[in-house]
Each structure stands twice: as structure tokens, then as C-alpha cells.
Amino acid sequence: MTLHQARVLMRAMDLYMRLMMGQFDELEHYFCFFGEEGERFKRNPACKQEIKYYMDKVKRIVYPQLSPNASWGITGQPCPEDATMIYDMYKSLDHDISWYQNPKGDWTVNYDKPMHWYKKLPLPEVRVFEE
């Protein structure tokens, strides 16, 4: 996939993982920082507060056992298995993007082989190529 496709896919995977972990406040961040709509939300704090209000309500319905600022960890129970599998995919993609952008490597963790959390499947192999 192209670098642009990889980044868009990573954003989608990140949002999905966070929602599955109970981090519903990420929807507020998503709407405020991405796309044309983000500009409207930045200029209108009341809109941002309203999103937060409703996301807190949804979180209380979906995950009543979580307090407002709490979330599950990505690798433990009761986080859904799909979220853990997506995390492996996300980290594999991040790893390949890092090597694609800097083939000489670096000392940051994203150049190391990703940790493998979802043991039912092997770590996915992904490749980023020129657009």
C-alpha cells in the first residue's frame, strides 16, 4: 500500500482500538483534528463539549463498569480480541512505515520487530511502497 493509504488505515485502526478499549473521548479528538469538520469544531467549543457529553453517555451505556477516565489495556481482558489483533496489525504497519521512511534505521522502538500479542494469528507482513 502507499504511504498515504497506510497512514489513513493506521488512523482508522487507532480509532477502532481506542473505542474497543473504552476511550470514547478519542472521537472528540478525531472530529476536532481531522478533516474540514475539524476546523468547525475548533472554532466552536460548545460543539466540542456536546460531543464529549454524548460520548461520556455512550461510554456509560457500553462500559458501565468503567469510570469516566478509565479504559481497558489493549492486551488484557476484558478488551475484545479484535482490538488486540488490530493492535498487532497497527504496530506491524508502524514498523514498516518507519523502515520505509528511514531505511538506515534508528534507535526508536518502532524499528524493532513489533511485540506479538494476538497469538491466534502470526504477525501480519505489510509493505509500504512509493506512490
Please tell me whether residues 16 and 28 are part of one structural domain. Answer: no
Number of domains observed in the structure of the chain:
2
Residues 49 and 63 placed together within one structural domain of the fold: yes
Q: Is 76 in the same domain as 131?
A: yes
How far apart CA 131 and CA 125 sit, in angstroms, is 19
Domain holding 66, by residue range, is: 24-70
Q: Which residue has the higher pLDDT, 74 or 43?
A: 74
* DSSP 8-state assignment for residue 113: P
Residues 58, 32: Cα–Cα separation, whole Å: 19
Shared domain for 77 and 63, answered yes or no, is no
64 plus 84 within the same structural domain: no
Instruction: Mark whether 7 and 62 lie in a shared domain.
Output: no
Residue 36 pLDDT grade (very low, low, confident, very high; cuts 50, 70, 90): low
What is the pLDDT confidence band of residue 37, given thresholds at 50, 70 and 90? low
Question: What confidence score (pLDDT) does residue 17 get?
Answer: 94
Does residue 31 register a pLDDT over 80? no
φ, ψ of residue 26 to 5 degrees: the values are -65, -25
- Confidence class of residue 45 from pLDDT cuts 50, 70 and 90? confident
Answer whether residue 41 shows pLDDT above 70.
Answer: no
